[in-house]
Amino acid sequence: MLYSSTTGIGQDLVLLHGWGFNSELFNDLIDRYKNQYRITKIDLPGHGRSDEVNGGLNEWCDEIIKILPNNPTLLGWSLGGLLAINIANKVSISKLILVASTPNFVRTDNWEFGIGANNFEQFSDSLQLNLSKGLKRFVSLQTKDKTQIKHLNQTIDNYPATTQALNQGLNILLKTNLIKTLESLSVEKEVILGKNDTLVPNKIAKWYQQNNIKTQLLNTGHLPFLCDDFLL
């Protein structure tokens, strides 16, 4: 069973976090918008308080779909963005919001908007050597707000991901290509990117705009929703 928690009033908004983290990451964002949206946060399989789910992208998404409210706005950050795209291709949602995310994280001959697979694997390997320490260092590079850093560090320690889930998530990040899927979606789409993001190159903003997807480019790194300029 996957963990979820719902807060607030208004249109349904569902938040999907990224690799190695958990839904507590969104608490500040929820506090900001709980009077405008009925917000559901979900721990991904094997992350936080959720049970592991065997399989990969489709199996993870099928479990998430079981607890989605009807026709929500679906926001996916990083790995959560890939899941959100795949879910939007399976069930009806009212809007898709991708945050620091891309339909294909890995650069290929036909896709210049990713990072090298070797660089990605080195990054993940360095994190997994000491996941807690690695994620905390990553967070410290994304915000200078000491209160935010303290809160996020506590959530990293309190709700770690399992080794199986980390391996599954990394496999999804490395092998998933949803470019055609995203292009074919008729649902309203919006993207919020960080100018200084080292995992999702900001030049992808032009590709999103060429595909008629509303795009915001904020002066942040890979965690744009920690910034006061982040607006839904």
Residue with tokens 């709700």: 159
pLDDT of residue 217: 96
What's at 213, amino acid-wise?
I
Place of tokens 């065997």: 54
Q: What is the pLDDT of residues 176-221, one digit of tens each?
A: 999 999 999 999 999 999 999 988 999 999 999 999 999 999 999 9
Confidence (pLDDT) at 128: 67
What is the reported pLDDT for 48?
96
For 139, 169, 195, 204, 224, the CA distances from 198, given in Å and listed in that order, are: 13, 18, 9, 12, 12
Distance CA(24)–CA(139), nearest Å, equals: 14
Distance separating alpha carbons of residues 112 and 223, to the nearest angstrom: 22
Dihedral angle sign, alpha carbons of residues 71, 12, 103, 212: positive
- Catalytic option among 4, 12, 47, 197: 197
Q: What's the whole-number average pLDDT of the chain?
A: 93
Instruction: Tell me: pLDDT of 20 over 70.
Output: yes
Does 151 qualify as catalytic in the annotation? no
Confidence at residue 119, expressed as pLDDT on a 0 to 100 scale: 74
Least confident range from 83-92, 108-117, 132-141, 157-166: namely 132-141
Domain covering 4-226 assigned CATH 3.40.640.10 in the classification: no
Q: Is the pLDDT of residue 120 over 80?
A: no
Distance CA 131, CA 34 (A): 31
pLDDT of residue 117: 77
Q: What average pLDDT does the segment 78-97 reach?
A: 98
Least confident of 11-25, 108-122, 161-175: 108-122
Catalytic residue among 4, 23, 78, 124: 78
User: How many Cα neighbours within 13 Å face the side chain of 126?
Assistant: 11
Active site residue 222: yes
Per-residue 3-state assignment (H helix, E strand, C coil) for the chain:
CCCEEEEECCEEEEEECCCCCCHHHHHHHHHHHCCCEEEEEECCCCCCCCCCCCCCHHHHHHHHHCCCCCCCEEEEECHHHHHHHHHHCCCCCCEEEEECCCCCCECECCECCCECHHHHHHHHHHHHHCHHHHHHHHHHCCCCCHHHHHHHHHHHHHCCCCHHHHHHHHHHHHHCCCHHHHHHCCCEEEEEEECCCCCCCCCHHHHHHHCCCEEEEECCCCCHHHCCCCCC
Contact 98, 85 (CB under 8 A): yes
The two tokens of residue 129 are 């050597």
Q: What is the mean pLDDT of residues 60-65?
A: 98
Return the pLDDT at 148. Answer: 85
| Average pLDDT of span 13-32 | 96
The stretch 58-65 carries a mean pLDDT of: 98
Give the contacts of 219 (CB within 8 A, at least 6 positions apart).
Answer: 194, 195, 196, 227, 229
**pLDDT digit string (tens) for 124-181?**
777 667 778 888 888 887 877 888 888 888 988 999 999 899 989 999 999 999 999 9
Average pLDDT in the 110-133 region? 79
Single-letter residue type at 198: T
78 is known as an active-site residue: yes
